[in-house]
Amino acid sequence: MMKKLAYLQFLVIVLFLLGACNAGKRALIKGFNSFESGDYNVAIDHYQVAVDNGMETALANYKIAEAYRLSNRLQEAMPHYEAAIESGIADTSAVFHYAMSLKQNGKYDQARNELKEYIEYSKDTVLEYTEWARQELDNLDRLENILAKDGYFEIKNEEYLNTEGAEYAPTVHRNMFYFTSSRNSEKIYKATGTGFTNIFRAPIENDVVNVEAAQTLGEDFASEIINEGCITFSPDGRIMVFARGNSGKRKSTRDVNLYVSRLQRGEWTTPEIMTITDPEAWDSTPAFSRDGRTLYFASNRPGGYGGIDLYSASVDNSGRWSNVRNMGEAINTPGHEMFPYVTDDGKLYFSSDGHPSMGALDIFVAIRSDGKITIENLGPPVNSIADDFGMSFTTIKDGYFTSNRAEGKGDDDIYAFVNNDPDLKTVNYFLAGITVTEEEDSGEEKKLEDVKVSLRFPEGSALDTKNSGDEGAFKFAVEGGTNYELVGEKEGYFTTRVPFSTVGRTIPQEELVDMVTDTTFTTKLVLNKIVIDKSIVLENIYYEFDESFITNAAAVELDKLVKILEDNPQINIELSSHTDAQGDNEYNQKLSQRRAESAVKYLVDSGINASRITARGYGEEQLIIKNAMNDDQHEINRRTEFKVTGVNNGRADASE
């Protein structure tokens, strides 16, 4: 009986071991498949089952560590790299990544030892991360200076903005606060085990973000199963660039690409992938230069200096992006550089784990002087052993950044900062101007009194409003590095809208003498009197030979007329088309009528009430140059004009 019982116990143990073996093998296979699909968080669970069942523990722990690293959780990878190394994992890169995980956990001395061991391996063989390891060893030697740095920054976790999920990449654009977040996500991204991210915006009211009113940007910019990332706007507010990718589906891209949308007639166009993006690479964290002519972004495309590098691209006059360039070894390292941001005074802020850092990503500032670029770590408290990234400014001394430090509220958290450097000089910018009109007979300018003048963002509502009074004068406080519009309104005159910009006109810190400097820009706002039946030529409205369809160039000019009609809802107009005297008179008459009707249709399709516009083709009846002899003179005769035919709240003086 005892022998039989012992045999049964032995059989149970054998069956248990066989079952555990099978469970471990199944877990390894599932872990492998999930890892290869980029579902790193799922792979971690499967590989952990393999470890728990004693199946290929060295390999399984290494894969767990790699899954944590590749899903940006290197701190959590540390014990698994250690276990894999102790179990004899053959992949030497485990030693390097173990060293980096030690650094991210603040274990600097241990990290230094592991890096030295990794470099020792490279004496007899070529190792993938040798150059990075040597630089990182040098970076650790500089760490003491970073930790001892005088920090003038004061930071604060914006708890009312943050959730247990991820909030990152904050930026302010035209009194709206934009950020990326996994809040409200019902779908789980299998790479990280967290929700998919979307871009949100919330209004800023009395200098506070109304997070309760936060919304996504709409259906074209939000998806339940695709991550939307960082966003940037051109200074004129007409172009939006953002990062999108990581759907996790086999049939769509698993990497990140840059998308562009344009503001047309008050609406954002459907996003399109940018021509400068590499579909096979990770392209993300875009940022515009202050003049809007350059786009900075991060990419791991081939040919760089390391894992992820910073690149720039430029736009031509037709709006095409090209000329992608790596920003060079002064900025880029064998590590990762990302999250660029350019301030009004031309400083480049970015995040890196390749320059001397406290742990993971730290925030740095690059300053160019006399052709040389210097890189400075901002030090604590902005930087920590965790990831610190995505710095943006609202003024010269304050703004926001992101960190996933342990004392935060959730995953990535948004922090506010203030730079209390006593040597930081400030500039108060003002815009002062006069309102004038032109004499009808002489064309001379004269002061125009009591004009309502509004300062606005382009396509935006009024930020401030003044009356020019008896002196025809106005003055506004403005910000550096910003595009504005001035709008002048007075009964009996065309509402006038003119651009004004402080982009590229910010005074650099090194040129300031006083702690506070007042600088005033000057301008002039010209309002034209509304005169019945006075023809006004629309410049650059050209048609293809023998055609009446609206070209792209003509559409740009007609959009200006749309704006005039929107700004002056009281006027009705006649829109007329004129041909030259070449060809048959009857044919020219019909052609000009078709062209006038085509232009009117464009205005109506743009939202202008058809009852306000009359189309009229004059053919060659009203030649400006009656005996035109060359192409230039014929072109002057070929024109599109408009004239006011009536004013709804009272007729203008036709005798003017």
Q: What is the pLDDT of residues 603-638, one digit of tens each?
A: 998 889 999 999 988 888 888 888 888 878 887 787
Q: Which of 403, 199, 389 is nearest to 310 (CA)?
A: 389
**Share of residues in the chain with pLDDT > 90 (%):** 49
pLDDT digits (tens, 9 = 90+) for 372-390: 899 999 999 999 999 999 9
CB 109: neighbour CB atoms within 10 A? 9
pLDDT digits (tens, 9 = 90+) for 84-110: 999 988 888 999 999 999 999 999 999
- Structure confidence at residue 540 (pLDDT): 62
Half-sphere exposure of 34 (CA within 13 A, CB side): 27
* β partners of residue 462: 456
List where CATH 2.120.10.30 sits in the chain. 153-419
- What is the fold of 21-147? 1.25.40
* pLDDT category of residue 15 using cuts at 50, 70 and 90: very low
Higher pLDDT, 466 or 37: 466
Residue 488 — φ and ψ, nearest 5°? -110, 130
Residue 114 — φ and ψ, nearest 5°? -65, -40
Q: Is the pLDDT of residue 463 over 70?
A: yes
- Structure confidence at residue 544 (pLDDT): 56
List where CATH 3.30.1330.60 sits in the chain. 536-647
Q: Which CATH superfamily is domain 426-526 in?
A: Immunoglobulins (2.60.40.10)
- What is the fold of 153-419? Neuraminidase (2.120.10)
User: How would you class 319 by CB atoms within 10 Å of its CB: exposed for 0-12, middle for 13-18, buried for 19 or more?
Assistant: exposed
User: How would you class 376 by CB atoms within 10 Å of its CB: exposed for 0-12, middle for 13-18, buried for 19 or more?
Assistant: middle
Task: List C-alpha distances in Å: 25 to 13, 54, 85, 239, 487.
Answer: 18, 10, 21, 52, 72
Altogether, the residues listed in the chain come to a count of 656
Residues 6+ apart with CB under 8 A from 266: 459
Q: Is the pLDDT of residue 271 over 80?
A: yes
Q: Is the pLDDT of residue 594 over 80?
A: yes
Gap between the Cα atoms of 377 and 379, Å rounded: 5
* pLDDT category of residue 523 using cuts at 50, 70 and 90: very high
**Residue type (1 letter), 352:** S
Gap between the Cα atoms of 598 and 502, Å rounded: 38
pLDDT digits (tens, 9 = 90+) for 245-266: 865 554 444 589 999 999 887 7
Q: Could you tell me the pTM of the whole model? A: 0.79
Q: Which residues of 510-527 are buried (b: 16+ CB within 10 A; e: fewer)?
A: eeeeeeeeeeeeeeebbb
CA angle 588, 590, 591 (to 5 degrees): 60
- What is the fold of 536-647? 60s Ribosomal Protein L30; Chain: A; (3.30.1330)
List where CATH 2.60.40.10 sits in the chain. 426-526
* pLDDT category of residue 537 using cuts at 50, 70 and 90: confident
